[in-house]
Structure 1
Amino acid sequence: MNNYYLKARFLPTVLTCIPLYISVHSVIIAQFGPVLEPIRSILPMLSTFGISAALVFIMTQLNRVLSKEIFQRFYFKDEENMPTTNFLLLSDNYYETHIKEKLRLKIQSDYDIQLHDLADETADELSARKRILFATSQIRNSLRNNDMLFRHNLEYGFFRNLLGGCVLAILIACGLCAYGFIKHDNTLFTTGYLLIIIYLIPILMSKKIMTIYGNNYAKILHEQFLSL
């Protein structure tokens, strides 16, 4: 879990906190440093490093929330529409029929869960999705210590959280641009403008990123399940 937090949550924050770092050192500390000086002796952690570390921690949490609520929900709607669910629907064409049948038979054998047939799935797709979702949770539990699945889960989490971080990074960079414009600071204005462009690129590619890594995770999940 510590490894996942470091690589899938903390590292995306590090890559997207550059606008925050610049804002803290070039704007906040520059403007309010003298005001904070008298109480630094009382609260040693209230330093440049302490403020930055606290903000990075907050950004790590916000990145995760934004990435799930904006990108994952937008492209996959909810967990019932994730690739791990879609691929097991009989109406879905990602897997060949015999592969899907092997997965369904193994789910029934291992967990005593019978997935909907085509008629029931067509009549009530939401119920079919919920049953697949429950079966998927059991598969994840069975593969909890699977290294290959963990790596793909880490990759998916990294890029998803990176996209969430890019949203915050763009907002902060816009603030830098506005501050630079108001203060006639061309360096800050240009820096903010360039950062907006840099962090906008992953967002423009977000559908491709989420689809690729979401599909990869689902494929590895099912492959490793069949190999049990």
Structure 2
Amino acid sequence: MMNQYFIRARLFPTILTSIPIIIFINYVLNKEIYPSLDQIYTILPTLTGFGISAAIIFLSIQINRIVSKELFQKIYFKEEIEMPTTKMLLWKDSKLDKNTKSKIRQKINKDFQIKLKNEIEEVSDLEESKKQIVFAVSQIRNLLRGNAFLFQHNLEYGFIRNLIGGSSMASLISAIILIYAILTKDNTLEITSIILLTIYILPIIFSKFIINKFGNYYAKTLYEQFLTEK
């Protein structure tokens, strides 16, 4: 499962968002800085090109993960306090009916000996209620670690989150390429960079909506699978 997660939720979005930086290094820098290294590229063209691109993708995987988790997820969800898995179990949230919430809370108490706050207690201490739910959700995730259906939704959420993180870096590099193309009057590169910038900026503009949408899908699946767990 970890190999599948790495490939589908980390590697694939990184490959999709690495196009601008690969163009920047293999075209822009190659044109401006690498002429002095022409001999190396003549001797080892395949090795240098493939090696640099592979190194970029590997580095981008780490950067995208950090950006997506530490920037977008932290801004939108404040760690896990505001995540759909937390909010959905609050009494004031309407995404789940109260009967279902009661069943989930009873099972949490039974399985993990965690007694979540009732409606009155939740109103008087909302932040503590959220922290309790966050801890309970971590226990549910551990319990359902091998659940294939939940894993599929986790893959989808991870892919989208990392795609948005990668798009922020891709947009920045595309903008740099665009500036370079305008300054050097490279029309082909200018059109390419405009297209790339447009493609990568869209996930950022709609990032909150997209992350929330997939987060809600994951949260509903988590609780559905938890209730069916014996």
TM-score with structure 2 length normalisation? 0.92
Shift of 1:38: 5.7
Amino acid at match of 2:9: A
Matched, 1:74 2:88: no
Tell me if the contact between 1:29 and 1:48 (Cα under 8 Å) persists in the aligned partners.
Answer: no
Question: Partners in 2 of 1:195 and 1:95 — Cα distance?
Answer: 40
Question: Partners in 2 of 1:44 and 1:180 — Cα distance?
Answer: 25
What pairs with 1:49-64 in structure 2 (closer than 5 Å)?
49-64=50-65
Shift of 1:37: 5.0
CA RMSD of aligned residues (A): 2.0
Amino acid at match of 1:156: Y
Question: Partners in 1 of 2:27 and 2:39 — Cα distance?
Answer: 20
Residue matched to 1:91: 92
Shift of 1:40: 7.4
Tell me if the contact between 1:116 and 1:128 (Cα under 8 Å) persists in the aligned partners.
Answer: yes
Tell me if the contact between 2:22 and 2:56 (Cα under 8 Å) persists in the aligned partners.
Answer: no
Question: Partners in 2 of 1:8 and 1:155 — Cα distance?
Answer: 7
Residue matched to 2:150: 149
Matched, 1:214 2:215: yes
Question: Partners in 1 of 2:30 and 2:48 — Cα distance?
Answer: 9
The count of residues paired between Structure 1 and Structure 2 equals 228
Amino acid at match of 1:166: S
Residue matched to 1:121: 122
What pairs with 1:1-228 in structure 2 (closer than 5 Å)?
1-36=2-37, 47-228=48-229
Amino acid at match of 1:206: S
Question: Partners in 1 of 2:8 and 2:60 — Cα distance?
Answer: 15
Unaligned runs of 5+ in 1: none
Amino acid at match of 2:140: I
TM-score with structure 1 length normalisation? 0.93
Tell me if the contact between 1:113 and 1:135 (Cα under 8 Å) persists in the aligned partners.
Answer: yes
Question: Partners in 2 of 1:200 and 1:38 — Cα distance?
Answer: 38
Shift of 1:34: 3.8
Q: Tell me which moved more, 72-81 or 133-142.
A: 72-81
Sequence identity (%)? 48
Tell me if the contact between 1:12 and 1:158 (Cα under 8 Å) persists in the aligned partners.
Answer: yes
Unaligned runs of 5+ in 2: none
Amino acid at match of 2:208: K
Cα deviation digits, residues 123-143 of structure 1 (max 9, x gap): 211111111111111101110
Q: Aligned to 1:80, what secondary structure does the other structure show?
A: coil
Question: Partners in 1 of 2:157 and 2:78 — Cα distance?
Answer: 16
Q: Tell me which moved more, 160-169 or 87-96.
A: 87-96
Question: Partners in 1 of 2:199 and 2:42 — Cα distance?
Answer: 39
Tell me if the contact between 1:16 and 1:162 (Cα under 8 Å) persists in the aligned partners.
Answer: yes
